[in-house]
Structure 1
Amino acid sequence: MTYQYKFARVLALKEREKDEALFTYQDAVKKFEEVAEKLYELLRKKEDLEAFQSAELKNGLSIVEIRHHQQFIGNLEKTINHYQKMVINARNRMNLFQEKLMEKNIEVKKFEKIREKDFEHFLNSLKTIENKQMDDISIQLYMNRGS
């Protein structure tokens, strides 16, 4: 008598769903990191540009150069704002997929727990059957010896 888990297909399906959720989550994390890295680079670039402009102002800059720097910084700030929104969206997406992954993990664990309990029940049934067979054999041996 071999053990056959009645929800084996369901468990396999849930594990596949969990793997897909993990892949999606990892992809979302990767995209979040890429966008966050780009935002960091832009912020760093703005900081360096402002430091450069401050140093140049001490040495003396023409109005045209000051306007040029201010326009460049303004465009950079627009880009930074855009990337900040992208980072927020990427973070929200990543958190959503993390929650889905956690739900899939819980579902798989539930079916694994059911399988463990079902297997224990199967082993107990086998033991009961074996004990009954041993009792039957003992009775038959006693009856045959007594005759």
Structure 2
Amino acid sequence: MTSIRAFHKILHHQENKKNEAHLAYQESVQSFEVVAEKLYQLLKKKEIVEKSYNDYLETNGTVTNLATHYAYIEQIKREIMTVQTEVNQKRSVMEHKQAKLTEEHVEVKKFESIIDKKQEQIKEKQKYIENQVMDEASNRQYFNHGNR
């Protein structure tokens, strides 16, 4: 029977792996948040510029200003597409790290369960041995008392 100490060592190793996975997940979340915030700011910027462009259309703006606004909106749209791709990549990495963290958490729980079961088996074995010793002592006392 494998000793509980060995399982504790394995559990400690698994907990370290889980902690590393947790740190990696936290880093990926922060990375995702940075890129998502960048996308949000670009979308806000685009909304403001489009409103300004529409206001310019309603008033009598010059063609050059309209063309400049339109070109600026197109540039922002290209940036948004680029950042959207980056956001999707960061989200994918973050989801992968979360799956890894969940997997490591499950492994830790498995070893905790194994250790609990082993400890319960040891307690039951000790109780059985204790009962055997008590039975033996009781039998000796009975026979010693009965032989007199």
Same fold, TM exceeding 0.5? yes
- In the other structure, the counterpart of 1:42 is 42
Instruction: Identify which range, 87-96 or 53-62, moves more after superposition.
Output: 53-62
Report the secondary structure of 1:61's partner residue: coil
Query: What are the residue-to-residue correspondences of 1:19-38 with 2, within 5 Å?
Result: 19-38=19-38
Is the aligned partner of 1:125 residue 2:94?
no
Does the 8 A contact of 1:5 with 1:118 survive in 2?
no
Amino acid at match of 1:84: Q
Q: Name the Cα RMSD after superposition.
A: 1.4
Amino acid at match of 2:63: I
Aligned equivalents of 1:85, 1:115: Cα separation in 2: 45
The count of aligned residue pairs is: 145
- In the other structure, the counterpart of 1:82 is 82
Report the secondary structure of 2:6's partner residue: coil
- In the other structure, the counterpart of 1:69 is 69
Aligned equivalents of 2:77, 2:36: Cα separation in 1: 15
Report the secondary structure of 2:109's partner residue: helix
Pairwise CA distance, 1:103 = 1.0
- In the other structure, the counterpart of 2:142 is 142
Q: Deviations over 1:45-98 (max 9, x none)?
A: 101110111112211111211121112112111111110011000010011101
Aligned equivalents of 1:110, 1:103: Cα separation in 2: 11
TM-score for both structures, normalised by structure 1 = 0.92
Give ranges in structure 1 of 5+ residues lacking alignment.
none
Q: Deviations over 1:22-66 (max 9, x none)?
A: 111121112112211210111111011101111122111112111
Give ranges in structure 2 of 5+ residues lacking alignment.
none
Aligned equivalents of 1:42, 1:20: Cα separation in 2: 33
Does the 8 A contact of 1:39 with 1:83 survive in 2?
yes
Aligned equivalents of 2:57, 2:4: Cα separation in 1: 80
Pairwise CA distance, 1:145 = 2.0
Aligned equivalents of 1:35, 1:6: Cα separation in 2: 44
Report the secondary structure of 1:60's partner residue: coil
Does the 8 A contact of 1:5 with 1:115 survive in 2?
no
